[in-house]
Each structure stands twice: as C-alpha cells, then as structure tokens.
Structure 1
Amino acid sequence: MIYYQWGYYLTKQQILDLYKTWGGKFGRFNPHDLTDIFHARRSIFHYLMPGPVRVWIAGNDAGDGVLFFVGKPNCPIRESVEPDLAERCLAMFGGPPCPFTLVPNTGGEAYIMKRKGKLYKMDLIQFMQSDTKGDQYPLSLDEILPEQMHLLGL
C-alpha cells in the first residue's frame, strides 16, 4: 500500500511573506533567522486549528522550509480534510494541498511532493508541532524583540 499525506510546503522566504501578509508582527522577517521562521509557523498553525495538522521543518536540494501536513493520511482529499479546515487552508495558502507520497524504506523521513505536475523529493528534518503533540519549541519571552513587547501587552 502506498502511504500518502496532503500538505503545503513553503520556503523560508515564502512563510515569512505569508506571515507578514496575514498581519504578522513579531520578528525581523529574516529568512536566515529561525526565530522568525518559528514565529511564522506558530501563527499559521494557530490559524489552521482546529483540525489534524502536523508541522515539520523539511527540505530538498533547493533549501529548507516548513511543511504543513493537513488532514488524515491515506484518504482522498475530501475525506481527509474537514470542510472548515479546508476553507482555512484555502484562505491561508491560496489553493489546494499537494499530495506527498512516502518514499519506501526511508523510515518515514522522505516524501515525494507533486506540485503543478512536477515531482520534488522532500526530506523531513525536524518535527515542530501538531494538533495532538503540541509545540516542541514553544515561544519564550526572550524570543520577542524588546521593541515589540508592547504587542503582548507587556
């Protein structure tokens, strides 16, 4: 049986641009600063809730980014993703998710993504958070720039 999931992959620059477009305020929006990437992925994750969402740092030969797996695995898209989550995904990402097919014998750490008729190999690098396991790297106050503390009411 072929194992697959539905998801959205964003490069570091794409996730920061999306975060900023949706009103993100924390960080310097630097694609080379993981703290900024983490602000963006947390914000997008919270917008997508509730629903089955798993977030990974993932990459390929072109570089690293953030991968949002949505819905239940091994189901056609309409069975995998509930309508309310599908609406939030469409609003956030501007289109339907891509299929990610597990590469056999990789320990679950490599997938093939199909986007616009092209295939891309994606390696899962680090699990970040999910609707069931929480955030592996929760926000701490020292990650907020001093000039942005007022945004938290501090």
Structure 2
Amino acid sequence: MVSLLWGYYLNREELLAIYKECGGTLGTFNPGEMKDLQHARRAISHWIMPTLLNVWYTNFDLVDDGFVFYIGKPDCPNLRDAIKPSLATRCTRVFKRAPDQFRFIEGHWYMVRDEKKHRLRMMERMRSNRDGDMYPLTVYDLPDDQKHLVKLGSKIYSTPK
C-alpha cells in the first residue's frame, strides 16, 4: 500500500487562476461551473505530462473541494528521487511552487504543508498516466462561441507561457 505521494492540491479558484495565467482559453473561468474546472484540469495535466500522474477530485479538510495532481514515484521521501528534473521544471513553470507531501495515516490521506496536516477525501479519480482521462474533452463541453476551437486539436492545450 502506498503511504507517501508528492503533488499539488488546488482549490477551484487556484485551479482556474493557474489555467488563466498559463494561457488557458476554454470556458468562462467560473469556479462554480464544473465544465470550466474540467477544462483547467485537462490543460494542467497536459502541461505537466509525461510523468507518473494521478488527478483526483478531492474534498479538503471537509470544507473546500478541488483537485490533487499526484506526480512522480510513490513512497519516495526524498523529492529529488521522486521526480525527474524535467518534471520539476514543468511543475515549477505551471504551479510556481514546490510540491506538497501527501501521507496515508490511520486510514486517511493528509496533505502536509507548513508542518500542518490537512485531511483529504478522494472523491473521484479524474486522470492517470496509465488510464488516460476519465472525462475527455468533447465538443459538447464547450460554450457555443468556442466550438470552433475543437478543430485546432492539440493547439487547445499549448505549452504555458
């Protein structure tokens, strides 16, 4: 059983802010709209690939919800052993900070930040490097004024600035 992971927790507002800052264009950037959150999640996943990646829709401290991007090798307490330098560079470009440590303690996942534990409840797996995206982008996910972007293919999720 995995007991240690590295990753990034982003609440709804943080997810959309990073997406917009990195040049994301799809959606309306509304934190209350799940389609907008899915656009942001897909783009951020694309930007940090290829890597060992699992993305979960998560409840944080039983108060907030957002997404966790687990990266790198599990059960590696040393960050330098867990992720390659190229992944660290991509993550720093996108997230603008180092990853947090996530630990499985007494039957629950906790994020450890600033020596405080924050409980996470994994609600739904959204993506993995092995299984792909559980909710891939379709034309029906786009606002009417953005449906033409589907023709652009991979240019939708171009590399962040």
**Normalising by the residue count of structure 1, what TM-score does the alignment of the two structures yield?**
0.92
Tell me what 2:35 maps to.
Answer: 35
Partner of 2:118: 120
Matched with 2:54 is 54
Match of 1:130 among 128, 131, 135: 128
Q: How do residues 40-119 of structure 1 correspond to structure 2 at under 5 angstroms?
A: 40-60=40-60, 61-75=62-76, 76-105=78-107, 110-119=108-117
Highest RCO, 1 vs 2 (Cα 8 Å, sep ≥ 6): 2
Mapped to 2, the partners of 1:45 and 1:149 lie a distance apart of 21
Structure 1 CA distance for aligned equivalents of residues 2 and 150 of structure 2: 45
Cα distance in 1 between the residues matched to 2:8 and 2:2 = 19
Aligned to 2:50, the other structure's residue is in SS state: coil
Post-superposition offset of 1:103: 2.6
Gaps of 5+ in 2: 153-161
> How many angstroms apart in 1 are the aligned matches of 2:114 and 2:25?
32
Cα distance between partner residues in 1 of 2:57 and 2:79: 23
What is aligned with 2:16? 16
Q: Residue 74 of structure 1: SS of its match in structure 2? A: coil
Residue 2 (structure 1) shift: 7.6
Residue number in structure 2 paired with 1:151: 149
After superposition, the C-alpha distances for 1:109-150 in whole angstroms (9 at most, x for unaligned) are x31111122221111110000111100111110111111123
Task: Determine the C-alpha separation between the residues in 1 that align with 2:69 and 2:151.
Answer: 30
Q: SS of 1:123's equivalent? A: strand
Residue 153 of structure 1, CA deviation = 3.6
| Cα pair distance change 1:92/1:101, threshold 3 Å | same
Q: CA deviation at 1:104?
A: 3.0
Provide TM-score, normalisation by structure 2: 0.88
CA distance in 1, matches of 2:144, 2:32: 20
Unaligned runs of 5+ in 1: none
Match of 1:5 in 2: 5
